Each structure stands twice: as structure tokens, then as C-alpha cells.
Amino acid sequence: MPKLPQSPACAVLRTGLRLFVLSVLVETVEASPDRAATLEAIRLIENPRNVSRPGPGGELGPWQFKAETWRMHSSRPFTDALDRDEALRVAGRHYDWICRGLAKARLPQDAYHVALAWNSGLGAVIRRQAPSRAHRYAERAANLAETLSKGPLMAAHDPSPPALARVP
């Protein structure tokens, strides 16, 4: 695939393309734009530069999985967390697992609560004991997911998309 120039418009196109691919690849019955946007927001916060070396706690891959989280959702080796397609499948499974836990606890299954559980653990969210840093993380992820969900993919569904300014 050819590289796009580094302009703001191309950055929007790249993000839209990533969201599209994310929504197609994630294994779920409900591959909604909100779900794709939430997973992309978490990925952008966790590993924005797609670094392949382990994080400070041994986390790997685009979604910075811990080994125990990876093993919950995959029998493949933990090093496969560096494979973007496999990491995306596991991210989708983890997202679904979080949503089931939130639903069972009668908590909202929105971007904020998913990101809060992603960062601090589902148990901490259910017990309402997530640390303040996790709440800041969740707020950031929810804001980013909202912005991403209103991106170029959603413009096709908007009956009156905004006019783009001409660039000289």
C-alpha cells in the first residue's frame, strides 16, 4: 500500500481506514463503530507508535496486553501479541469479556467503562475501586473514541456532511 503524505487530511483518512479494518476484522456479532472506535482509542493510548519492545510491566503489542490477559483469550504464544491481526482478535475478545462483566454488574458498557476496566481491571470497576489515574485514562479514551466515531467513516451516514475547505 502506498504511503500517504503526512498532512492532517491524510491523517484523518488513515484513521478512518484503520477504523474500517478494525470493524471488519474484530470477531463479534456487534462490530459497531463505537466498538471499533473504543478499541482504536485504547490502542492509540496504549501504543501510539506501535513499539514492539515490552512495556515496563512486560506488556506487548498494539493494545499492550499483559501475559495473563493474553492467556485468558488465546492459546497462542504471548509473543503473538506483536502480530497485529492476532492482537486485534484478542482485543475484541477482551472487549467482549469486559462488556459481559459490566452487563452482569449492571454497569454501562460504554467506552468510558470499557477503558476503565481495560486499565484498572474489571474487578476494580465493579467494586468501584478504580484508581484516579484509571479514571483519567478512561476519560481520555472515551473522548478519543467519540472523536473517532465521528470521523470519516461516520460522515458517509451523515445526511449533511460538512464541506471541506479547499487547500491552495
Does residue 146 lie in a domain region? yes
Does residue 9 lie in a domain region? no
**Pairwise pLDDT comparison (20 vs 43), residue with the higher score:** 43
Q: How many domains does the chain have?
A: 1
In terms of residue numbers, what domain contains 76? 32-151
Q: Quick one: pLDDT at residue 120?
A: 97
Does residue 10 lie in a domain region? no
Does residue 124 lie in a domain region? yes
Give the pLDDT mean for 141-153.
87
- Distance CA(113)–CA(138), nearest Å, equals 7
- Give me the CATH number covering residue 39: 1.10.530.10
Q: By percentage, how much of the chain surpasses pLDDT 70?
A: 70
Half-sphere exposure of 145 (CA within 13 A, CB side): 24
- Distance CA(163)–CA(73), nearest Å, equals 43
**DSSP string of 29-66, one letter each residue:** S---HHHHHHHHHHHHHH-TT---S--TTS-BTTTTB-
Residue 18 pLDDT grade (very low, low, confident, very high; cuts 50, 70, 90): low
88 SS3 class: helix
- Distance CA(145)–CA(168), nearest Å, equals 31
Does residue 105 lie in a domain region? yes
Does residue 96 lie in a domain region? yes
Q: Contact at 8 Å (CB) between 131 and 117? A: no
Instruction: Kindly tell me if the per-residue pLDDT of 136 is higher than 50.
Output: yes
- Distance CA(98)–CA(110), nearest Å, equals 10
The residue among 102, 38, 94 whose CA lies nearest residue 69 is 94
Does residue 80 lie in a domain region? yes
Does residue 138 lie in a domain region? yes
pLDDT tens for residues 47-93? Answer: 999 999 999 999 999 999 999 999 999 999 999 999 999 999 999 99
Q: Which residues of 84-98 are buried (b: 16+ CB within 10 A; e: fewer)?
A: bebbbbbbbbbbbeb
Give the pLDDT mean for 120-136.
98
Give the pLDDT mean for 137-148.
96
Rounded (10°) CA dihedral 103, 27, 15, 155: -70
Q: Around Cβ 165, how many Cβ atoms within 10 Å?
A: 6
